[in-house]
Amino acid sequence: MENQFLVDSEYLSKEALEKKHRLETDPSFRRNHMEYLPDMEIIESDVMDQVMTEMQSYDYSKYTAVDVRRALQHERCTIEDLKALLSPAAEPFLEMMAQKARRETSKHFGNTVYLFTPLYIANYCENYCVYCGFNCYNHIHRMKLNREQIRHEMEVIAKSGMEEILLLTGESKSKSDVKYIGEAVKLARKYFRMVGLEVYPMNTEDYAYLHKCGADYVTVFQETYDTEKYETLHLMGHKRVWPYRFHAQERALRGGMRGVAFSALLGLSDFRKDALATALHVYYLQRKYPQAEMSLSCPRLRPIINNDQIKPLDVGERQLCQVLCAYRIFLPYAGITVSSRESADFRNGIVKIAATKVSAGVSTGIGDHESKYSGEKKKKDTGDEQFEIEDARSFDAMYKDMSQEGLQPVLNDYLYV
């Protein structure tokens, strides 16, 4: 099979295999990815048009060293400056960009670095995103934690000292319904000061319910803002509907969430255009909701179970660093998260320049924090991982390393009164 993403499994039935192949090869068999499904809320918003107009007209080849120098001299980074900083012309200026980014980071965040951990509570998924280990056609061990198992995992994590948790599920409304997620949030509230969610996009009323249960913020990865490419990578399920996903953060804010987080998965499409769109998505939404806390991250593709060929093709560490510095210079107040997809060396370096938040003690599997934290062999009743991580440092190791780098690890910066 030529496409690096596609994997067949001997465990699929003949019918399932036929449907899978048809989805992969016959675009007319696939649903229109720009059309909402009946249960999806439509909101009035001009943010999508603003972002897409800028992205579609972005020709990064026209920017020169003069534009980059001008951008670096400006006190305030304009959209034109951001475009120059993300262009190939800015690559020779990486050192200057890093110095400017470092000044902005230290002006707004001092020498702090925020630590959190993700907790996957289920890995069922009804979508077919061809690059993801949880996709419904990938043969992995599926699992959903029950209330006691969730509590146990949270106890183990909380004992390590962690105060912020990010709850994740695969995107399956039938296996992980809103009530199930809400109960997990209520439990998390007992153990942690800050609770984030990275689950399927939902309607405003569902976000309002989850906020009432205790969720503080919502993360949604758009994956790519290139709608044509998106169509070829998300072949089935609710996630296929691109505009519904785009407006998820705005619905979350309307539902009362305190914060929202954004990201493109760099390496899926043209990373310069995706980086521009991600930054502008934050920028325009922040202007509309000035009270909201906004952050963005910069994940790159990773290998998955049954496919170790998946790589972020044209996004090396230099390019990633360029994107992060450009984000910081353009959005000086925004949080920037760098996940365990990146190496320890890269994360140690970038937290001193542009990033403000790192994960620690990470497992992308289901129910294996106890074995992970105790160093024991993995138990049998765990669910498989979403992707391979690169930096497996524990909370203690990360805390120590960040302190040794001269940074002040922060576990929580918000108090409810």
Q: Which is nearer to ligand SF4, 101 or 132 (CB)?
A: 132
Q: DSSP letter at 258? A: S
Find the helix or strand (DSSP H, E) in which 222 lies.
Answer: strand 217-223
Instruction: Say how far apart CA 33 and CA 149 lie, in whole Å.
Output: 36
Rule CB under 6 A: is residue 328 a binding residue for ligand SF4? no
Q: Which is nearer to ligand SF4, 134 or 330 (CB)?
A: 134
CB of 227 to ligand SF4, least distance (A): 16
Q: Which is nearer to ligand SF4, 156 or 202 (CB)?
A: 202
Of 235-254, binders to ligand SF4 (CB under 6 A) are 239
φ, ψ at 297 (rounded to 5°): -130, 180
Task: Look up residue 17 and give its two tokens.
Answer: 């295999």
Task: Look up residue 6 and give its two tokens.
Answer: 């596609």
Rule CB under 6 A: is residue 125 a binding residue for ligand SF4? yes
Q: DSSP letters of 60-116?
A: GGG--HHHHHHHHH-SS--HHHHHHHTSGGGGGGHHHHHHHHHHHHHHHHTTEEEEE
Annotate each residue in 70-109 with x if it binds ligand SF4 (CB under 6 A) or - if it does not, as one string: ----------------------------------------
Find the helix or strand (DSSP H, E) in which 191 lies.
Answer: helix 178-191
Q: Which is nearer to ligand SF4, 5 or 373 (CB)?
A: 5
CB of 124 to ligand SF4, least distance (A): 9
Identify any residues that bridge with 337 across adjacent strands, giving them in sequence order.
Answer: 297, 357
> Which residue in the set 93, 109, 114, 134 belongs to the binding site for ligand SF4 (CB under 6 A)?
134
How long, in residues, is the chain? Answer: 417
CB of 172 to ligand SF4, least distance (A): 8
**Residue range at the interface with ligand SF4 (CB under 6 A); choices 128-136, 203-211, 255-263, 336-344:** 128-136
Of 290-309, binders to ligand SF4 (CB under 6 A) are none
Rule CB under 6 A: is residue 170 a binding residue for ligand SF4? yes
Rule CB under 6 A: is residue 224 a binding residue for ligand SF4? no
Instruction: Say how far apart CA 185 and CA 168 lie, in whole Å.
Output: 11
Instruction: Say how far apart CA 44 and CA 223 lie, in whole Å.
Output: 22
Q: Which is nearer to ligand SF4, 123 or 356 (CB)?
A: 123
Q: Which is nearer to ligand SF4, 135 or 348 (CB)?
A: 135
Strands (E), 241-351: 259-264, 293-297, 335-338
Q: How many residues of this chain interact with ligand SF4, rule: CB under 6 A?
A: 9
Place of tokens 């909201």: 292
Give the binding site for ligand SF4 (CB under 6 A): 125, 127, 129, 132, 134-135, 170-171, 239
